Structure 1
């Protein structure tokens, strides 16, 4: 029972959640860690929330060796970091006090995490923390968390986090691959399809029939063939035929077939209508809210940086402080900061131009922004 309690406390650090889990498991007849393998996600619904239940199922060990590992509480003090399994070039870097590359560090984390699981099937965070500390002590210049020569936190927090995440991934992959987790795999796939969606599997509304849906679909096709631009009508028809659109998409139809049957699904008005029904988010309103908050935050960030007034970023900031548009300023600063070729993102046209004046031959193959006038652009490229 002590081993089971320790296991649950490792899965749920929150004492309230772990207490509820223990009481609920006891009511189901679970007395040891071995008993956990007979659980199903539906059994946990009475005392755990869906995510908590899936988290517990994913971390249930597939054998009883986890039971005995809890009784050896001090194994981590004698754990030997497998430095010998790393390439010679990597070890030479460490001995010279150099920091390893990201790929080399990930390789080390994978090897150490694998070795930890060979010793203990269910290591606690305190065990992994001690191992991370030993690694930093062995090669402080290569692994210690520092900013401007100042140690950050414990000095090994980032390494600890990487090890914990890798161990969790190892255990999750093993749990999902077991036959007992077939239902978990199905529910995981289903969750992935629902991420961000509130209306992914709609039913026909009251008063709607398959015949009415087909009539509206044909009307949309005629409007597209006649190049009609009544945005409100298109939006309303695309909204009312949303169920048919989702059925076609989820049936696995090719994009080419969808383009032939629902051409407005690939046009702004129809795309916005479909997205609004699928996620409940109005793209226009959402973009305006983001533009008013996130773009200003970007500008505030650059204003606090040491930027020379004569530089390209400095000229853009000067224009913004003089009353320039914050959206244009933020976009130009981002392009400048990431050293992107502005000609690939911004296409200049006359300030009196309308969309029909822009020829597709003028536009690059990649997504771009068409700029009318472009004082900001001229300022940034001088």
Structure 2
């Protein structure tokens, strides 16, 4: 690459028109060594790779771990952390905008990309600042501003940063230790009684071979406390 391109990348500045043209010429020549007449989609793929390599430097200096604060009354340890070193609110807003564009073009599946995972971790400070705003934003507003935050991976990751608790491990442990006890309790409690919602759930569970008991346990508890399942989660 021309020296001006290297310097611009290091300083995070826009290269001059002359350097950009020289960069295009070099890349096209390299591409034509393998493909004399590259298609538009091939050019777009390579362009995205180049942009990704340049932007990777912007997040490479992000702290490996966000500083842990004191535990508050709700068990949170990173309720509102400091802005990460080397970043500003404006630079974090740029990353936020980039993620919104990525989500719009690639959808929720892109949440598994390492680049997106790192961007979400880097912008955690801004996420908390938005969530903790007064008046607080609505869920719909948050989903518009932080769409990746509502993907399973990032929801669990955010909770882990906020509380230092791996919620999936905790849920699995709780189900393993208490789920079977709860299931046996309801099986014993409904024996010989008239059919009701609890017994209907047990009947469906008993009909299924090798059925995962954990959804059944949740449904049983909700039925017992007369909670509406549709208000808690969506059944597929």
For the aligned pair, the TM-score class normalised by the smaller chain equals 0.5 to 0.7
The answer for the alignment partner of 2:170 in structure 1 is: 286
Structure 2 residue ranges without an equivalent (≥5): 1-69
Given that 2:71 and 2:77 are in contact with CA atoms closer than 8 Å, whether structure 1 keeps it comes out as no
- Following superposition of structure 1 onto structure 2, how do residues 245-260 of structure 1 map, counting pairs within 5 Å? 245-252=127-134, 253-255=136-138, 257-260=141-144
3-state DSSP of counterpart to 1:224: helix
Aligned pair 1:327/2:214, yes or no? yes
Shift of the 335–261 alpha-carbon distance from structure 1 to 2, 3 Å rule, reads closer
Shift of the 211–336 alpha-carbon distance from structure 1 to 2, 3 Å rule, reads closer
Q: Which of 58, 80, 86 does residue 201 from structure 1 map onto?
A: 80
Aligned pair 1:296/2:180, yes or no? yes
Given that 2:77 and 2:164 are in contact with CA atoms closer than 8 Å, whether structure 1 keeps it comes out as yes
Shift of the 320–310 alpha-carbon distance from structure 1 to 2, 3 Å rule, reads farther
Give the whole-Å Cα distance in 1 for the aligned partners of 2:130 and 2:165.
Answer: 22
Give the whole-Å Cα distance in 1 for the aligned partners of 2:207 and 2:178.
Answer: 16
The answer for the alignment partner of 2:112 in structure 1 is: 232
Shift of the 271–288 alpha-carbon distance from structure 1 to 2, 3 Å rule, reads same
Give the whole-Å Cα distance in 2 for the aligned partners of 1:277 and 1:192.
Answer: 12
Give the whole-Å Cα distance in 2 for the aligned partners of 1:303 and 1:257.
Answer: 43
Give the whole-Å Cα distance in 2 for the aligned partners of 1:314 and 1:254.
Answer: 40
Shift of the 334–280 alpha-carbon distance from structure 1 to 2, 3 Å rule, reads same
1:242-291 deviation per Cα after TM superposition (whole angstroms, max 9, x unaligned):
01112233332533654443233344333322222111122322222222
Give the whole-Å Cα distance in 1 for the aligned partners of 2:191 and 2:120.
Answer: 48
3-state DSSP of counterpart to 2:185: helix
**Larger Rg computed on CA atoms:** 1
Given that 1:199 and 1:279 are in contact with CA atoms closer than 8 Å, whether structure 2 keeps it comes out as yes
3-state DSSP of counterpart to 2:235: strand
Number of residues of Structure 1 aligned to a counterpart in Structure 2: 159
Report the alpha carbon displacement of residue 201 of structure 1 after superposing the two structures with TM. 2.2
Aligned pair 1:216/2:92, yes or no? no
Aligned pair 1:271/2:155, yes or no? yes
Give the whole-Å Cα distance in 2 for the aligned partners of 1:337 and 1:251.
Answer: 37
Report the alpha carbon displacement of residue 231 of structure 1 after superposing the two structures with TM. 2.1
Q: What is the root-mean-square deviation of aligned Cα atoms in Å?
A: 3.6
Aligned pair 1:316/2:187, yes or no? no
Report the alpha carbon displacement of residue 320 of structure 1 after superposing the two structures with TM. 8.1
3-state DSSP of counterpart to 1:197: coil
The answer for the alignment partner of 1:369 in structure 2 is: 234
Structure of higher RCO (CA pairs closer than 8 Å, 6+ residues apart)? 2
Q: What is the TM-score with the length of structure 1 in the denominator?
A: 0.35
Given that 1:200 and 1:246 are in contact with CA atoms closer than 8 Å, whether structure 2 keeps it comes out as yes
